[in-house]
Structure 1
Amino acid sequence: MDVTTTQYASFYQFLRTLDCYLGDDGQMIGEVQHFAENPQREIAAFVTRKTSDQIEVPANFIRILYVMKGNVLVSIDSSEKKLSTGGLVLTNAETKLSYSGNDEAEVIAFYFKPSYFTESLLGQFFEEPLLYRFFVEALSDELVGISRFLVYAFSDNSDVHFYALLLLKQIVKMAYFNNKVTKSAFVLLIVELSQAAPEHLIAKDSFVSNGQLTEEVLAYIDVRLEQVTLEEVAQKFHFHPNYLSSLLKEKTGYSFTEIVLLKRIERCKSYLEQTDLTVQTIVERLGYKDKAFFYKRFKQIEGITPRQYRKKCERKKTHV
């Protein structure tokens, strides 16, 4: 047995001494109810083992279900998924979640109240777009009633396995109260999930989120086109700039800078067609101090300069 395997075995044996094991569905529901009623507790973790009962994972919390050992049949809303050791399900508060396992199955259910996710905590993984977005949307009042989930499959010797056990250990060790080490363990788990190879994400909800939000952001950019900045828009819509930028890229195929440039070019074309303003004045109105830069990008996209575009429009009018 190598050193890593020995460490895992020792760590796993320690977990068995913790007071977090439950035997049936009734115990799970009762413990979660106690957790819900205690305003000082924001995070909890419970383990079931050697039970073939259908275990309900109560809703109204963000939850992580992790298979420590064995094989489990997980029910997610109206679908079922077979997971083995290393399987992980992340859901928002709306998802209906339950599971049943074989005689060897040992499963952790993590529960998080919304208050757990402070801005400073979320900020520690804002560079992980998928997971950052998941938690931001899970906390949004705009998506109440909409089920969201992600399903992963890992091996039992992955870092995800270790971090899940570390988080369990820390939560129970601290009697379900928060501390810096607990939050660090949570962040380590989330970052490891986010950086895993794409094939480990084996299922996700089909809801296409943020479509309306994207339209609102684009409309706001239109209104503030001459002075708009990414930081301003992010503050307006209560997102981190990096997250908003990745959202726009995902939904439109363009970065924030590209969107602003394209919209300014369209605005420039309208000015050239409908007014007698000089090109210099138009460029300044659009928020550019460097006329040469805008000229260059305009020609790259339209194939002609702003002056040539105006002359082209004038020729069209004379032939009407």
Structure 2
Amino acid sequence: MLDAILNKLMKTTPVEKEQLKSFEVHDDIPIDAFDPALSEKDHAPVLNDHFFRNKRIYVSKHNRYAPYPEHSHTFFEINYMLRGSCDEVVDGEKVHLDTGDILLMDIGSRHSIGYLGTNDLLINILFRDRDINLELLNGLRSSQSVFYEFLLDRKLGGRGDIHHLLFSHAQVDEVQDTLDRIIDEYYLQRQFADTMISGYMSILIAQLVRNYHVKVKKPASKSQQLVLEILQDIDSDFQTVSLEKLAVKYKYNRNYLSNVFKRETGTTFSETLNKQRMLNAHILLTSTALPVSEVMKRVGIRNKAFFYRKYMGYYQKTPGSNR
């Protein structure tokens, strides 16, 4: 890690100065970062996708000098112990992190973080299941590691028995360099930083699969492998992909494919395809000056009323309001 970045992270922030006075949390997370419905349902704060409005991966330093109360989130979280140590409670289980340890938590995991002192640096890296590279995941299929099972289960829409994974610093020497590179890129914000960070995240996933050797109880089934390939088709060809085309490609009946997809992911093919199209539409609407009609065309939707209705359903605003 660059010395300039490390020195920046070691500096006391305004929030930390307040916490140092009272040893109580002074939360700097805005109110709209919490999901009110899920928070009420879980009886604990639940963080939403607020952090990903302008970036695919979010990195931050956890504020020191006060324990952080139990909460959960609608995304994956990596806690990387850059310096020192800390104690957490994850889904009721006590977890201790030393320098170099990495804790990966699933979507919906509930956790609290203990007191961090001056020499403790805990880095949070947040990412969503949509940012798991499907081509990479498919390529890692032969590894059959616990981490592979963890990612595969989430990508297929489930939440299995594994809710968090702890990677000891003794297991992941090469991973620390990749994490340091992600942190450097994030804070330097040089040209193409987002692209570099996404690339490093793929490397990080591959390295964790390679280094976490505990075997799964059973390999992915043929139907899971098939659905993973279909998800990859949706990801790469969302403009024109259809069940009819996939039925021809994989030599299965259309209704069979539809039923297998719903069984393995918990959602329909059309719902998943529409979600992918809306995600790409949102990226185009927030990062380009393309007219809405051109955005519709680029994501494979022709019906304007349908597009507006779906977009409103996902983002609670009209496509034009993002301009």
- Tell me how far 1:129 sits from its aligned partner: 3.3
Mapped contact 1:68–1:108 kept (Cα < 8 A): yes
Q: Structure 1 residues 141, 192: closer, same or farther in 2, change over 3 A? A: closer
**1:71 and 2:85 aligned:** yes
Mapped contact 2:171–2:211 kept (Cα < 8 A): no
Mapped contact 2:61–2:124 kept (Cα < 8 A): yes
**TM value normalised by structure 1:** 0.51
Count of residues in Structure 1 that have an aligned counterpart in Structure 2 = 207
Mapped contact 2:73–2:107 kept (Cα < 8 A): yes
Q: Distance in 1 between matches of 2:171 and 2:29?
A: 24
5+ residue gaps in structure 2? 20-24, 35-46, 231-323
Amino acid of the residue matched to residue 13 of structure 1? N
How does 1:20-35 map onto structure 2 within 5 Å? 24=25, 26-28=27-29, 33=34
Amino acid of the residue matched to residue 139 of structure 1? K
- Tell me how far 1:9 sits from its aligned partner: 4.5
- Tell me how far 1:155 sits from its aligned partner: 5.6
Q: Which has the larger radius of gyration?
A: 1
Mapped contact 2:76–2:129 kept (Cα < 8 A): yes
- Tell me how far 1:159 sits from its aligned partner: 2.6
Q: Distance in 2 between matches of 1:8 and 1:179?
A: 18
Amino acid of the residue matched to residue 81 of structure 1? V
Q: Distance in 2 between matches of 1:178 and 1:121?
A: 20
Q: CA RMSD in A?
A: 4.2
Q: Distance in 2 between matches of 1:119 and 1:42?
A: 16
2:73 counterpart SS class: coil
Amino acid of the residue matched to residue 190 of structure 1? I
**1:196 and 2:186 aligned:** no
Q: Structure 1 residues 137, 25: closer, same or farther in 2, change over 3 A? A: farther
Provide the residue aligned with 1:141 in structure 2: 157
Provide the residue aligned with 1:95 in structure 2: 109
- Tell me how far 1:160 sits from its aligned partner: 2.2
* % identical equivalent positions: 14
- Tell me how far 1:62 sits from its aligned partner: 1.2
1:52 counterpart SS class: coil
Amino acid of the residue matched to residue 134 of structure 2? E
2:27 counterpart SS class: helix
How does 1:163-242 map onto structure 2 within 5 Å? 163-174=178-189, 179-196=194-211, 198=213, 214=221, 217=222, 236-238=226-228
2:65 counterpart SS class: coil
- Tell me how far 1:61 sits from its aligned partner: 0.7
Mapped contact 1:71–1:101 kept (Cα < 8 A): no
Mapped contact 1:138–1:148 kept (Cα < 8 A): no
Mapped contact 2:138–2:229 kept (Cα < 8 A): no
Amino acid of the residue matched to residue 152 of structure 1? F
